[in-house]
Chains A and B, each alone.
Chain A
Amino acid sequence: MRIPLAAAIGMFFTALYFLAAIFAPLLAPYGYDEVVSSGFWDPPSAEFLLGTDGIGRDLLSRMIYGGRTTIFVATAATILSFTTGSVLGFLAAVAGGWVDQLLSRFVDLLMSIPSLIFALVVLSVMPVTLPVLIVVMGLLDSTRVFRLSRAVAVDIEVMDYVEAARLRGEKTAWIIFREILPNALSPLVAEMGLRFIFMVLFVSTLSFLGLGIQPPQADWGGIVKENAEGIVYGAPAALMPAFAIATLAISVNLVADWILNRTTSLKGGRG
């Protein structure tokens, strides 16, 4: 199998980010909350490759640890979103009738409010902790996965092999996990990349607003918030996460595009 250059580059950088996230403590020159300089917003130097932040912490270390937090939260929320969304989506397609109506209309309702606004409403009464963030983001986003998996499963559900499984007397769970899931996997995997990016942007936005990951923990959105004041004094520290988020997002997009093109060409150019 030949992998196109764009997809290969995307895979390389995506892998790099995930490895940096896993091995953050080995890579980071200083601790994430270690004050290493008496100055603030020091320019980049041999000692501090990206300079220091507003209270004299090493920016490179905060960026590496921040990537770890952001990528961890986004990954966990994506997994939650996919398990909930796809299982319910497949269930709606297989069961049909009132189950489908109930789930689909509820999803329509949730999607009629912007997710950020609803997340803010919910976070106004919930304690802002990592599990709460992951659950709120994952469940709100699962509505999009639900729509996609339901649409894909409705197409598969009419296939002869599903009918055969039904006639054999298989249970709903068997039909969902053994007949539909394997055949729906490719479009879902491509979508997973896009949802992951959305989660990275979502959690960064919440942290930037002060309603996501709480200090002193580092994360990319929080780094922007902490250093925003420096912008007016000409210190670009707050802009560092822009580069990190953009390269991660573009890399994952390149991979997702490739997976999507592969699956559509396999199916004879559908979509």
Chain B
Amino acid sequence: MPLIVKLLVQRIALGLFLLLLVSALIFAGTIILPGDVAQSILGQSATPEALANLRAELGLNEPALQRYFSWLGGLMQGDLGTALTSGRDIGESIAQRLSNTLFLAFWAAIVAVPLAIFLGLLAVRYRERWPDKAISGVTLASISIPEFLIGYVLMFFFGVKMGWFYPTAAAFRPDAPLLDKLDAIALPVATLTLVVLAHMMRMTRAAILNVMQSAYIETAELKGLNSFQVIYRHAFPNAIAPIVNVVMLNLAYLVVGVVVIEVVFVYPGMGQYLVDSVSKRDVPVVQACGIIFAAVYIGLNMIADIVAILSNPRLRHPK
């Protein structure tokens, strides 16, 4: 088997193994801790009978390991269980919300990725001059403010004061025409873009600067190419692998940002479902949402590594 295939298979197997361990960790996080699920649902004043009934209903009297495997078995067959509070099938409730969340994250990525790469290139081109410094300043400011506050600042100025966009995503309907949907999510997309932009831009800048120190860049400069050509034709292609890596890591970060931003803009996605369920102590829903978020996160990290393997010429053309 060629080396590259072996590496890819190894990386995918590692990702699946990690996901398995993470499922155990998430399950353990809700079960083995000192808190008792039944107690925390019913509160301290619950009668012993009510507690015993709920424990029996939740299957808490069975050994933890057995419950974990039956939960895991259900997951493998796509059965996410039943919500405690509504008694509804979790899979059904999640399907629409997951697609809403992916819709939001997708459009945020479509805006953020090209913008970050362009601004990163700009920062390299005008290194140590005002565009570079302005970009660094904005970066520092945006990593110093929590994402939900960025959301409210945009909502206040552009949604309420100027009235350019819908202040919240309450107008979002999954079956509306695409343009109406985009109109409804303009501010959440802008917020998520700002959240990941700074980091992505800075790492793009670093990746290209790293390449810029190579000898072939000096050659290109000496043969009289202008600086945009040097960056675009010589530095950028060699910086693609690290940049793709940056993009993937930031998309993974977007998955977390989305949880908070959905709450800010009242967007009917997975994040809001997760947060609601945590405050209602609906443990099966929390576990299901947790494992889905973790799977997306691990998956994106895995893709980042796979791209890195594929783009490494020494692995593609083994001696």
Contact = CB atoms under 8 A, between A and B. Distances in A.
Consensus secondary structure, chain B interface: helix
Interface residues of A, number: 41
Contacts of B286: 120-121, 124
A231 B160 contact: yes
B95 interface: no
B184 to A, nearest CB: 15
Given A125-B30, A125-B40, A250-B144, A116 B259 contact: yes
Contact of B30 (A110, A121, A201): A121
Contacts of B196: none
B26 interface: yes
B30 A211 contact: no
Nearest to A250: B144
A117 B260 CA distance: 11
13 contacts: A109-B22, A109-B25, A113-B294, A114-B293, A122-B30, A124-B286, A197-B144, A231-B160, A232-B168, A245-B144, A245-B145, A249-B145, A253-B144
A125 B37 contact: yes
Interface string B277-319: 1110111001100100110011001000000000000000000
Interface in A184-226: 197, 201, 204-205, 208-211, 221, 224
Interface stretch (A11-19, A25-33, A233-241): A233-241
Contacts of B161: 234
B140 interface: yes
Contacts, number: 146
Given A211-B275, A246-B145, A117 B256 contact: yes
Interface of B: 18, 21-22, 25-26, 29-31, 33-37, 40, 140-141, 143-150, 152-153, 155-156, 160-161, 167-168, 252-253, 255-256, 259-260, 263-264, 274-275, 277-279, 281-283, 286-287, 290, 293-294, 297-298, 301
B153 A239 contact: yes
A131 interface: no
Contacts of B294: 112-114, 117
A234 B252 CA distance: 34
A198 B235 CA distance: 34
A124 B259 contact: no
A124 B18 contact: no
Contacts of B281: 124-125
B275 A245 contact: no
Given A121-B286, A124-B282, A125-B35, 12 more contacts: A114-B252, A117-B256, A117-B274, A120-B259, A120-B275, A121-B30, A125-B29, A197-B144, A211-B279, A231-B156, A245-B146, A250-B141
